[in-house]
Structure 1
Amino acid sequence: MKDRNDKLVFWGCFIALITTAFAFITRAFMVNVPDLWPATFGLDGVQAQKLFGAGIWPFAISIILFSLIIDKIGYRIAMVFSFICYAAYAVLAFMAYGTVNAEGLEGQALKDAQTQAYWFLYAGSIILGLGNGTVEAYINPVVATMFNKDKTKWLNILHAGWPGGLVLGGILTILLGAKVAEDWRVLIVIIAIPAIVFLVMLIKAKFPVNERVAAGATYREMLGEFGAIGAAIAGFLIFKELGGVFEWSMGVVIGITAVLVIAYGLYCKSLGRPMMIFLCVVMFPLATTELGTDGAITGIMEEPLKAVGQNPLWVLIYTSAIMTVLRFFSGPIVHKLTPLGLLATCAALAIAGLFLLSITTTLFAIFAAATLYGIGKTFFWPTTLGVVSEQFPKGG
C-alpha cells in the first residue's frame, strides 16, 4: 500500500468502522445499564430489548440494499449517507433527552413524555443501524478491490477497526462513568469524533472502480450469483423483521417475499450458486455470535462482575482487544490454516468460550472463558467476506 490515495481510503474506511463500533458499544451500554435509558425513559425489560434490536436489524437491511446499488450510486454517496445517519441519530437522541427533562414534568405528563422520547430513540436506533450497515456495504468492496490479490488478509486488518473501536469506546465509557451518570449525552458526543474524521478523509478521496464492474461482469450476472434462493432467504428475513415492527401477518410477509423472489428470479434467471447460498446462510449465525453476544454481554456479565467490584464492560473490552491484535496480524495465520480451516477452528473455540461463559462465576474463570470466546470470534466475519469475495468476484 504505497499510493497515498490508497492509504487515505483504507484508513478512512478503518475509522468509519471504528465509528460503527463506538455507536454500537455506547448504545448497548445505555440500553443495558438500568440507571441510564431504562431509568430515564421508564423502560421495562421488553422495551429495552426492542430498542436494542431496533439498532441491529436495519444493519442487515442496509448492507443488502446498498450492496445492490453501490456501483450505481458510488462509494462516496454511500459514505455521506452513513455520516448523515450518525448525525440524525445524535439529533434524535438529544430530542429524547430534552423531551423528558422539560421543567415541571410529573405523573401522567412525565409518562407521556417518556413514551414520546422512546419513539425518538427507536427511530434514531433504526437510522443508526442503517448507517452502520451502509459503512459495511461500502468499506468491504472498496478494500477487496484495492487488495484483490490478498483479500482475506486485508479484510481482517480492516475489520480490526471494529474491535479496536469497541476497546476505545468501552474504555472511554468507563473513564467517563461519573459524567455519563450525570448526563448520558456525553456518549452520543464521542461518536461524532471518528465520524467527522472519516468524512473529512473520504469526502474528496478517489475510490477504486468496483471489481465486478472492472471485470466486465454485468449487473444481471452479479444478481445471478446470489440467485432466487438467496433472494428468498434474505427477503423472508427482512420482511419478517419489518412485519414485527409494522404488525404484518405471516401471510403478508410470505406474499411480499414471494413477489420479490419471482421478480428477482425472472430477471437474473438463476437459482444461485450453491456455495454462495451456503455461505450466506452461514453468515447469520456468524453475525449473531459476534454482534448479538457483544451487545448483550454487558448485561449478561453485570451481576458476576459487580460481585467482584468490576465494570461488566471489561469483558467486552478484553475480548475485543484480543480480536484487534489477532486481526492486525492475521496474514501468517490465514496462510497457515487456510480460510476454511481457520473458520472451523474459530467455531470450535467460540462454542467452548460461550458455553464456559454461561456457567462460570469467578473473575478468573470468566476471563479465561472470555479468552476462548475472543479468539474464536476473531476471524468469523472478515474471513467469510474474504472467501465470498475470492470465490465469487462477479458477486460485487
Structure 2
Amino acid sequence: MSGNIHTKRIYRASCVALVVTALTFAIRANLLGVLGEEFELTAMQIGNVAAAAFWGFTGAMVLGGVLCDWIGMGRLFLLAFLGHAIGIVWTIFSSDYRSLFLSTLLVGLANGFVESASYSMLSSIYADEDKTKRINDWHIWFPGGIVIGGVLAYLLTSAGFNWKVQMVVMLIPTLAYGAMFWKQRFPKSERVKLGVSDREMFRACLSPLFLLMLCCMLLTAATELATNQWIVELLSAVGVHSILLLVFINGIMTIGRANARHILKHLSVTQLLFVSAVLSFLGLQLLGYAHGYLSFLAAGIFAMGICFFWPTMIGFVSENLPKTGPLGLSLMGGAGLFSTALALPWLGQIFDTHLLGAVPIGFSVEQLKDSTDGADMQLWADLKLNAGAYTLRLASVLPGILVVVFAALHLSRRKRAAGKASTAMQ
C-alpha cells in the first residue's frame, strides 16, 4: 500500500478485468460460427461483428490515453465496468445483426478502457522497475483468460448449453472486478510525475522511433489477435477440436509470459521481437499445411511467436519513450486494435472467396452445408480445410514483413549503442 492507494488490490483488480477482456475474445471466437447460423450471417458479416470489438477497443484505447490524466484512472475503470456489464447483457438479448454489432462494439470499448487505464497504472506504480517484464507479467492474464474461456466454452458446448449461457459466464468476473475497484484511489500517471507537459507528450509521439513502433504494432497485433479470433473457424475441419487449438496456443502464451523475465536476461527486447516474428511466420506457414494432431505442433510454434509481441511492444515504448506518457501507450494499443479490426473482415473475405471459388460446378454452398450424404459432407470439410489453410498462409505475410523490420531495428540500435560506448571511452 502506498499512502491510501492499495497497489496490490488495484493491480489484482486490473488482472481480473483483463481476464474479462480475454473471455470476450475466447468465447466469442468459439461462437463465431454459431452466431453466424443464429443470425444468418455471411463470413464477411461475422468478421464485421468480430471487428466491432476491435473498433471499440481502438477508440477507447486512444480516447483513454487522452482522458487518463484529465478524469483519472478510476473513472476509466468505471467506464470499462459499465461497458462490459451492459454490452454482455445486450449481446445476450440481441435479435439481429445490428444489435449484435452494437453490443459487441460496447464490449470492445470496455476492453479498451481496461487496457488504457491499466498501462498507465502499471507504468506509474512500477516506474522504477523493468516495465517490459512487469507488463509481460500483467499480460499473462490475457492468454490465461483465453485458456479459461476456451475450456469453459468447450465444456459448455459439449454439455449442450447454448451460446447465451456462455455469455452469462462473463458477468461473474465482471462483477468481481467492479467490486474490487469500488472506492479505491489511483496514482497519477508517470508522465505527470515526471513533469512532462501535454505539449512535450504530443511531440514525443511524433518522434521517428515511436512512429516506427506504431507501424510495427499494426502488424504484430493483427498477427496475434486477428488470427486468434478466426483460428477456431479456419481450422474447424482440421481433424481436431479447433477450440482446443486456441486453448493450447494461449496456454503456451501464458507460460511464456510468466517466464518473460528469465528470457529477457538472455535476449534484448529487439532480439526477442525478431525471434517472435520468425516463429510467428513459421507457425502460420505450418498451420497452413498441418492436419490432425500435427496441428498442435504448428500451433505451438505460432504461440511461441506471438507470445511476447503485445506486452513487449508496449514495454519497449514505456522504457525507451517515457515522455509519450499515457497517450503513447494508448496509441500503441489503439494502432494494434485498429489493424486487427481491419484484418478480421479481410481474413473472412479471403476465406469466403477461396471457399466459394473452390465449390465444384453443379454444387451450391447451401447444398453442401445441409447435405447428409457422406461424400458431400467430406467434400465440404475438404473445401473448408483448404480455404482455412490458404487464409493462414496468406496471413503469414504480416510477420514476414516484421522479420525484416525487427532485424533492421536491432542492428540499428546495437550500432547506436556501440557508438555511444566508443564515445564514452574516448
TM-based fold match above 0.5: yes
Partner of 1:71: 69
Partner SS, residue 208 of structure 1: coil
Distance between the aligned counterparts of 2:259 and 2:267, measured in 1? 14
Q: Within 5 Å, give how 1:150-229 maps onto structure 2.
A: 150-179=130-159, 181-226=160-205
Distance between the aligned counterparts of 1:147 and 1:90, measured in 2? 32
CA offset at residue 206 of structure 1?
2.5
Partner of 2:316: 387
Aligned with 2:217 (options 272, 279, 283): 283
The one-letter code of the counterpart of 2:17 is: A
Distance between the aligned counterparts of 1:68 and 1:89, measured in 2? 23
CA offset at residue 184 of structure 1?
1.3
Q: Deviations over 1:213-238 (max 9, x none)?
A: 01111111111111xxxxxxxxxxxx
Q: Which consecutive residues of structure 1, in runs of 5 or more, have no partner in the other structure?
A: 100-116, 227-271
Q: Within 5 Å, give how 1:277-316 maps onto structure 2.
A: 277-304=211-238, 307=239, 310-316=240-246
Partner SS, residue 359 of structure 1: coil
Distance between the aligned counterparts of 1:182 and 1:389, measured in 2? 43
Q: Percent identity?
A: 31
Distance between the aligned counterparts of 1:324 and 1:91, measured in 2? 28
Partner of 1:13: 14
Partner of 1:103: none
Q: What TM-score, normalized to structure 2?
A: 0.73
CA offset at residue 2 of structure 1?
9.6
Partner of 2:104: 125
CA offset at residue 150 of structure 1?
1.2
Partner of 1:50: 48
Aligned with 2:260 (options 330, 341, 360): 330
The one-letter code of the counterpart of 1:134 is: F
Distance between the aligned counterparts of 1:178 and 1:392, measured in 2? 48
CA offset at residue 90 of structure 1?
2.0
The one-letter code of the counterpart of 1:318 is: F
CA offset at residue 362 of structure 1?
3.1
The one-letter code of the counterpart of 2:186 is: F
Partner SS, residue 92 of structure 1: helix
Q: Deviations over 1:236-269 (max 9, x none)?
A: xxxxxxxxxxxxxxxxxxxxxxxxxxxxxxxxxx
CA offset at residue 172 of structure 1?
0.5
After superposing the two structures, state which structure 1 stretch, 331-340 or 211-220, moved more.
Answer: 331-340
Partner SS, residue 170 of structure 2: helix
The one-letter code of the counterpart of 1:290 is: E
Q: Which consecutive residues of structure 2, in runs of 5 or more, have no partner in the other structure?
A: 326-426
Q: Deviations over 1:321-375 (max 9, x none)?
A: 1111111121121122011111111111111111111111231x21111111111
Higher RCO (CA 8 Å, separation ≥ 6 residues): 2
Give the total of aligned pairs.
323
Aligned with 1:86 (options 84, 87, 94): 84
CA offset at residue 178 of structure 1?
4.2
CA offset at residue 182 of structure 1?
4.5
Which contiguous aligned blocks of 4+ residues in structure 1 show a shift greater than 6 angstroms? 1-4
Distance between the aligned counterparts of 1:203 and 1:334, measured in 2? 36
Partner of 2:60: 62
Q: What TM-score, normalized to structure 1?
A: 0.79
